[in-house]
Structure formats: structure tokens, C-alpha cells
Amino acid sequence: MLIPVKIKDSIEIEDIEIKNTNFKSLNLREEHIEEFLKKNIEVIFEDETLLVVGKQVVNKENGRSDLTAVDENGNLVLIEIKRDVEGIIQRKEAFEFQAIRYATSYAKIKTTDDLVDKIFESYIEKYKNEFELGELTAYEKASRILNDFLKKNNAIKTFNSKQRIIFIASSFDKQTLSATA
């Protein structure tokens, strides 16, 4: 849903009829949504601070998690994206079960070095044009960013004590809705 907003001294929203839409009708694919969220995570999650540490992370079973982040409590956050209900229904495996499998593998990450080694270093390497590496290796940069983020949020001691799953889609099927609260 797109709503025109004007910001002057205060926010003004035009009085218009709002039409319900979905990502498909806007010609947006999952990778478009992933890329938008990777660069603008604060738009969706304005109540909390997330540090994106991975995109299309491959697990041991060759599954790919869309986005991986760390929240302000030090928890790993799996962000799974589907364009719409059709994308959810067409899956061989239920959307929520896929995410649970990925989150289970994230629970095995015990240290910040482990996260940097398994996920964040390759993310920094792949998107190094978005980071100022200077004389640092991708590993060193990832380690600094992660540790600075955790220190700033007083979350070093609670690192990855829990994992979270966030589903993003323009709409969900009944099965996914009944499995999530």
C-alpha cells in the first residue's frame, strides 16, 4: 500500500482512496524486497535496531535463508521473505518449517567469532563496496562491526541466547498464520 505523505512542519497525508496491492502487482520479486530490506532495515523495524550480517546464507542442507541479522539483544534474527501467498503455497515444505530449520542451525552459533566466520565475513566480502575496509580484511571488519554493535547495545553477554524468525510477505496463508503468533 503506497500512501503519499508530505512533511513540512508536520506530516500531512492526502485524503485519497487507498487500494490494496501486493508485491507481485508492483512487479517486485523476492530479491528486490531482500535488497531493499538489506539497505533499509530500519524502515520496517523502526522500534528496534538490527544489524544485517547475511543475505542468502546457505546452510548445510543447501537451504538459503533470505536475510540474517543480529538484534539489539544480541539474538540472531532470521528474516524470511515471500512475495505473496502463492509463493508460500507453492513450496514443497511449509514456510514456517523452513524457517525453523534455518533458525535451528543458527542456534549452534555460540560466539561472535563463529558468526563472523560462518556468515558475516562472506557478507562483508560480497558487499565490500558498501563497507570501508581500509587496511582491514573482511573478517576483521565484520568482527569490529559486530562487536561494536553488541557493545553499544550491552548485548555481548547475551549474544545468540535466543533466535528469532520474522516473516515478510504481502499476505500469508492460513497455515502460516496459525503457526505464528
| Residue closest to 102 by CA, chosen among 126, 79, 74, 73 | 79
* Residue 126 CB-half CA count within 13 A: 10
- Tens of pLDDT along the chain (181 residues)? 445 555 566 655 566 666 777 677 777 777 888 888 888 888 777 788 999 999 988 766 666 788 999 999 999 999 888 766 565 556 566 667 777 778 888 889 999 999 999 999 999 999 988 988 889 999 999 999 999 999 999 999 999 999 998 887 766 666 666 666 5
pTM of the predicted structure, to 2 decimals: 0.76
* Separation CA 172–CA 158 (nearest Å): 32
CA 42 remoteness from chain centre: 11
Domains, the chain, ordered by start: 22-110+158-179 (3.40.1350.10)
Cβ contact 53:70 at 8 Å: yes
- Tell me the residue length of the chain: 181
